[in-house]
Homo-oligomer: A and B are copies of this chain.
Amino acid sequence: MASDIVLLAAVSVLSACQQAYFASFVGKSRIKHKVIPPAVSGHPEFERTFRAQQNGIEFYTLFLVDLWTAGWFFNQELASLFGLLYIYGRHLYFYGYIQSVKSRLQGFSVTKMALILLLVMSVTGITNSLLDKYIHINLLNKIRHIVLG
């Protein structure tokens, strides 16, 4: 629907920078705690830092799928906003996890909420497009017509 993707691209590049920052943080934590590669264990704080980064990677592609389909099929501005919320949640999660295992939970809730909001937008937008494509009913356009008069 939205042909414009520049906000989605900006949020994606911002999140890519965040992932790169986390990766370099793990490298610094290796040096700090003398965990020599390829080992990924040996010091509790390093292990938490590493798991925090790994969890970010596990969800990163999934996040991008939700972000782009939500932005493309529903609304770019709203999807980008929830994308920023996700990045904020990842930030909380990462620094929380480094402090303690329990402190990661707040950030995790924020990322989960952001992903659910994006997913709802994705599923709504894609369902609407499928209905439009195969039985020529565009519910979202109808709702817009009613709301906007």
Contacts and interface: CB of A to CB of B under 8 A. Distances in A.
Interface residues of A, number: 47
Main secondary structure of the interface of A (DSSP, over half): helix
Given A62-B16, A65-B64, A126 B57 contact: no
Contact of A61 (B10, B52, B61): B61
A25 interface: no
B122 A65 contact: no
Interface of A: 4-6, 9-10, 12-13, 15-17, 19-20, 23, 36-40, 47-48, 50-53, 57-62, 64-66, 69, 72-73, 97, 101, 104, 115, 119, 122-123, 126, 129-130, 133
